[in-house]
Amino acid sequence: MLNALRDKEKQIAVIGLGYVGLPLALEFARQFNVIGFDSNPERVAMLQRNEDPSRQVQPNDFAGVNIVFTANPDDLKKAHFFVVAVPTPVDDYKVPDLKPLQRASETIGRVLKPGDYVIYESTVYPGCTEDDCLPLLEHYSGLKLGYDFKLGYSPERINPGDKVRTLPDILKVVSGSDPEAAQTIAEVYGSIIRAGIYTAPTIKVAEAAKVIENVQRDLNISLMNELAIIFDKMDIDTQDVIKAASTKWNFLPFTPGLVGGHCIGVDPYYLLYKSRQLGYEPQVINSGRRINDGMPAFVATKLVQMLVHNNKNPAQTKVLVMGLTFKENIADIRNSKVADLVRELMKYAINVHIVDPYASPNEVAQAYNMTLINEPASQYDAVIVAVGHDIYRSFTGSYFKSLMNESPILLDLKALYTLQKSDGIEYWRL
C-alpha cells in the first residue's frame, strides 16, 4: 500500500475536513495524492480557494500539496486508503450522536473495493469501529473484512490553536484489524509523523486510549473546580493555593475553568454510554461531569451575589462577556460553556453583551441564537473575561474601569490578571 501511494498509483481520501481532517489531509498531500471530502459544499468551496473555514490553517499551508477538495461522493471511487475524521458529538440528552460517523461509513461502503483500507480517527467508545461502523462498510460494499479489505483506528490528537505541537510532532497511536493491517497503517502514518508511531494491540485498545485521555483531563479539572467552589466559600484565592501546592515536585498544577469544546466536555459521555450498556453506572466520571457542567451556573450565581453586594439590581444591570470560543486563540465555538454562562446570566434578566475576536457572528447566531457585538460599549456594571485570548492578556485595570460605571466588578475566569484593591475594581478569579 505505501509504495503504491508513493508511486501515485493509489490515493488517500480524508472524509471530514474540519479541525482534525484538514490538517491531516494537507500533511498527507505533501507526499501522496489526496482526495479531501466533506459533505458541506460551502466548506469545500472555501477550501478550493485556499481558505480554511475554521481559520486554523493558513493560505500558504495549501501550497505545494497534491489534493483535490470535493463534496461529490463519486470522487471517492479513486481512493484506496480512507481516513474518517468526522465529528462525534452528543445530543441534547448527552447521548452519543453517531449519525456523522454512520453517514461516512455508508459513503465509503458504496465505493469500497477489494484491497482498500478504512481507518477511523473520530473519538468513539471502545467497540464502536467494529460494532457500529464495520457492519455498514460490509453492508453497503458487499465485501468482507479480512478477505476483501482492512480496518483500522488511529485516534486524532490535534490540539487546535497549538503552533508548537503540530500534527507531525505528536506521537500517533495506530491499530489494525489484523497484524498486517496494523503494520501497513503504521507505515503510512509513519511517513508523515516525525514524533513516531505506537501500535496498539487491538482497535478497542486504541479507542479506549483516546477516550480516557480526555476523561482523565475532565476529572482533573473537575477536582480543581470543586476545590475552587470550596475555597470561594472560605474566601481563599484558588490560584494562590495552586501556586503554593505546585512547589511540591509531584503536584499536578491543573486549574479550574469552564470545560467545553468537542473533546473534554464530550468524550466522557461516550464512555459513560458504553458503560451503562454493560450494566455499570460509573461514579467518578459521572461526578466529574456534573461538577464541570455546573460551573456556568456557579459563576453566574457568584456574579449576582457580587452585584447585590454592591447594591445593584441584577435585572437592571449590563454585563460584558469577553470571549465565547471554547478555548483561547481559536474560532471553534462548539459546546462552548461560555454560551451556557450567558444563558445563566440571562435567567437573572441581566443584559449581556458578548465580544470575541475569533468567533464568527453568523455561527454564534446559528448555534446559540446569540449576538456578538464588534466592540465593547461602556457603562457596564461588570465584565467577565471568559476566554484567555492572547490579546486579552495585556489589558489593565484602567482599561476595565474605562468600560464600567461606579462599583466596577471584574470576573477573571482564566486567572489572566492579578488586580489589587488599589486598582479600584472588585476582582474575583477562579
Active site residues: 263
Q: Which three cell numbers stand for residue 274?
A: 458504553
Q: Contacts from 141-144 at CB under 8 Å and sequence distance 24+?
A: 141/109, 141/110, 141/112, 143/112, 143/113, 143/114
Amino acid at position 8, single letter: K
Terminal CA-CA length for the chain: 52
SS (H, E, C) 65-105: CCEEEECCHHHHHHEEEEEECCCCCECCCCCECCHHHHHHH
Whether 339 contacts 324, CB under 8 Å: yes
Helices (H) and strands (E) in the chain, counts: 15, 13
Whether 210 contacts 154, CB under 8 Å: no
127: CB partners within 8 A, 6+ apart: 204, 207, 274
Q: Which of 286, 293, 259 is nearest to 271 (CA)?
A: 286
The single residue listed with the C-alpha cell 468482507 is 144
Look at residue 141 and give its three-state secondary structure.
helix
Q: Which three cell numbers stand for residue 231?
A: 475555597
The total number of residues shown for the chain amounts to 430
Give the Cβ contact number of residue 67 at 10 Å: 23
Rounded CA separation 118/99 (Å): 18
The single residue listed with the C-alpha cell 473484512 is 145
φ/ψ of 395, rounded to 5, equals -65, 145
Q: What is the biggest distance separating any 2 CA atoms in the chain, rounded to whole angstroms?
A: 74
Q: Which three cell numbers stand for residue 162?
A: 497549538
Strand pairing partners for 78?
none
Q: Which three cell numbers stand for residue 289?
A: 461531569
Rg (CA), the chain: 24
